[in-house]
Structure formats: structure tokens, C-alpha cells
Amino acid sequence: MSDVRWVSHPVASIGGTLTVPGDKSISHRALLLGAVADDPVLVRGFLAGEDCLATRHALEQMGVRVEDREDGSLAVHGAGPESLRASTSPLDLGNSGTGIRLLTGLLAGLPIDSVLTGDPSLRRRPMERVAVPLRAMGADIVTSDGCPPITIRSSGRLRAIDYTMPVASAQVKSAILLAALNADGQTTIRQPAVSRDHTERMLQTLGAEVSGDDTEIRLTGPCRLGGGEIGVPGDFSSAAFFVVAGLLAADHGLTIEGVGINPTRIGLLKMLQAMGGEIEIAAPRMLGQEPVADIRVRRSRLVGIDVEQAWVPLAIDEFPVFFVAAAAASGTTRVSGAAELRVKESDRIEAMASALETVGIRVETASDGMTVHGGQMTGGTLDSHGDHRIAMAMAVAGLISRSPITIGDTANAATSFPGFAAAAAGVGFNICEERGP
């Protein structure tokens, strides 16, 4: 397979208005909950990126009918959890950590046997953090040295648990909640810090009784879900690249329309505002249970900060592009408490450290974070390590680099943001695409 490289050239300015694709986290959850609902779930704004399509294909292997409608929406024709049947082949989740972890929770309490796997990158990612609480609920789950493939065997009705998560994680929390739908009693999840609450909001939309607060979530099972309509806002994690790009290069402003601004997702905005970023939240509104707004940014003088620990889980997917903002800021930025970055699609601490050093930025890494000394990026050639967020972050860096930045292995951007290069070009990026052996 040929490598797709981007060459991101410096530009004088960017600007304009754009929209970003639907939220990846919400799209995954809409498919999974729709698959076990008693009635159809209509999904508007679904992200047809590779990760979400892998989840869709896995559900279709188990007999779930998913319909593409003429108006661009997606209908998931659920018929209750008992309608899912065992697949004759392993369920391949591609590169999707969200897909494989949440599907593990969904299948843990169902009377079918399943094997979940993925691409080489996914097969290196830790899965015991999900398997441990699910086993405590009575699930029969075997991992491969802690990683995929994951084998789930039918083990009868699960039991409720009271579980304290060692680290705040929306994926672990969501996997437990999905399992709790088929468990007897009240499951309580305690988290040490706030994490994404899309699952709780969507469960409520479909009729589940979910209660609690930022630190404790409760669901009583067994619980049946009804049908309904789910609107998917623009993905904040995708908008993040343009938020930072605008702060670096939008002299007359840049607006990203219709972005989800769920308070459990916008730690990046707090971090950038603390650095001096000019960010305006305009036209706030609700799309179902999810808050949405337009985000307006303009070129700003950024200064280095010490990132507050409470912001880290609210920005965990946005750190690659945040590190680019830190590189462009005056002074030093320090991030700690972010060890989770080492077990994403790549080791994002080492991958971003290597990328920034390649383009002339001095950094120091730690087991749980990185220190970035702001300066002038000089250009260079680097590899994305098969990580979509590394590729897009360094394309943003190219805007203000002294010379072009060449990024290898960028086809992976389609996992979360199909059409990124075209969207970027529409607001003034100069990205050339090259193909080679």
C-alpha cells in the first residue's frame, strides 16, 4: 500500500467559516445503543469515518440492520439485545479503541460468544482496564496478554457492581454502563475526575434511568431502551485543529460552526484561553441532549502555562494539537498527569516529542507528560506513526513553520476526519498531497 504524505506549507493567514464532521464518540454510541434498543434509532450527522464504520460493520455481522437513508441520516433497526447473534468470524474493529472497548461492554452480558480484534495498532492497546470491572460483574472475558484479540463467552446474567475507577476514563465508564443494561441491580461507578458523559446523555435520551453527578454514576438493570432520534454535533476533537490553527494564523478570524461543546469535552478551550487565546463561543444551542455552538477564534499571542490537572481528562484527545500551540507560544508549557497519552493510537507523548524536535522545538518528556519550550518551528520531515491526530496536528504546525513540514502516513486521518486536507484548504491551508511507495 502506498504512503500518503502531506506537505504543509507556511501561509500568511487563514480565515473564513467551516463545519467539521460529526462527533466520533457520539456516532459510536448511537450505533451501539441503537443495536440493542427495542425500536429504531434515527441518527442525524453520523460520522462515516473508518473507526465508526468498523463499529457498524461489526454490528452488521451480528445481524443488526443499519439503513442509509436518502436524507443522509442513518437508521439503526434495533430489536432488543436478544436479537444479536454470534458472528461466524471475529469482529474486526480496525483502529478503533472506542469501538472495541464499548462493544466489549455491550456483549459482556449477552448469551453469545464473540471474538473482538483489530489492526496491528489496536492489538497493542491495553484492554484489561475494561476487562477487570466486567469480570467483577460476572463476564467471561479473556484478553491476549492484556490486549486484543478479546474473547467473550456467554456467562449468563451479569450482576451489578460498585466500582471505583483508578483513572478517569469515558471508555471504561461507558463499557460498564453498557454491561449494566443486562445486569441485576444498581451498578455504581465512581470516577476520580470528570470524563466524557455522552453515554449517560444518550442513555437518558433512549429512556434509561441514569443518575448521579460528576463523580458518581448509577444505573439499575436490567434495562430496556426505546427508540428515538439522536443528533450528532460537529466533533470538538476535529474542530480543535482549526481552533488552534485560527489562534496561530487567522488575522481576521475563523469560525467553526455547529460544534459540540459538551462541558466534559472542552478542556482544550480552557487551556488555550489560559494561554491568551481569543476564543468566542457564539450562538449556543442544544441538539437533543448535547450543547452545540459556533466557535470563533483569531490570531493571538500565546504564552506558556502549567496545565491544570483537572483539565487533562477533558482534553485527552486534543493534546497533539495543544502541543503545537505550546510550541508556538512564548515561554514554557508543562503537562503532567497525562499518562493515558502513551496508550492511544500511538504513544502520543513520544510521537509529538519526536515531531516537535524534528521541526526545531525543544521538549522534555516524562512518563505522564511533556514540557514544551516555545520557539520558531523550522520545518522538516516526520512520520505520523499511523496516528490521525499526530498527522493533523503537524499539518497545523506547517502554517507557521519557517519551511514546509512533510508528514508521512497520513491516510489514517480518515479514521476521524475524512476530507481533512480539503476542509483545511477551504480556509487557507496550503497542503500538498503526495503518494509514494
Pair (222, 82) in one structural domain: yes
> What 3-state class would DSSP assign to 6?
strand
State the maximum Cα–Cα separation within the chain, in Å, rounded to a whole number: 62
Range of the domain at 207: 24-231
Pair (304, 170) in one structural domain: no
Pair (154, 141) in one structural domain: yes
Side-chain half-sphere of 432: how many Cα atoms within 13 Å?
Answer: 8
CA distance 119 to 425: 30
CA distance 111 to 108: 9
**Beta-strand pair 254-260/290-298:** antiparallel
Point out the domain boundary residue: 169, 203, 231: 231
Residue recorded with cell 473508518:
50
317 part of the active site: yes
Pair (168, 241) in one structural domain: no
Pair (143, 282) in one structural domain: no
CA distance 108 to 335: 36
Quick check: 47 and 24 in contact, CB under 8 A? yes
CA distance 38 to 79: 5
- Please report, for the domain that includes residue 249, its CATH number: 3.65.10.10
Q: What is the DSSP string of 127-188?
A: -HHHHHHHHHTT-EEEEETTEEEEEEE---SEE--EEE-SS--HHHHHHHHHHHTTEEEEEE
Q: What is the DSSP letter of 306?
A: B
Pair (120, 35) in one structural domain: yes
Pair (262, 211) in one structural domain: no
Q: What is the pLDDT of residues 25-72, one digit of tens each?
A: 999 999 999 999 999 999 999 999 999 999 999 999 999 999 999 999
- The pair phi, psi for residue 80, each rounded to 5°, is 85, 160
| Residue 159, C-beta contacts closer than 8 angstroms, at least 6 positions apart | 137, 138, 183, 184, 185
Pair (188, 277) in one structural domain: no
* pTM value > 0.75: yes
Pair (54, 121) in one structural domain: yes
User: Residue 435 to residues 6, 390, 411: CA-CA distances in angstroms?
Assistant: 9, 18, 10
- Tens of pLDDT along the chain (437 residues)? 358 899 999 999 999 999 999 999 999 999 999 999 999 999 999 999 999 999 999 999 999 999 999 999 999 999 999 999 999 999 999 999 999 999 999 999 899 999 999 999 999 999 999 999 999 999 999 999 999 999 999 988 899 999 999 988 999 999 999 999 999 999 999 999 999 999 999 999 999 989 998 899 999 999 999 999 999 999 999 999 999 999 999 999 999 999 999 999 999 999 999 999 999 999 999 999 999 999 999 999 999 999 999 999 999 999 999 999 999 999 999 999 999 999 999 999 999 999 999 999 999 999 999 999 999 999 999 999 999 999 999 999 999 999 999 999 998 898 889 999 999 999 999 999 988 76
Pair (108, 240) in one structural domain: no
| Residue 144, C-beta contacts closer than 8 angstroms, at least 6 positions apart | 123, 150
Q: One-letter amino acid identity for 48? A: A
Q: Considering 294, 317, 383, 409, which one is annotated as catalytic?
A: 317
Q: What is the DSSP string of 233-245?
A: PBPHHHHHHHHHH
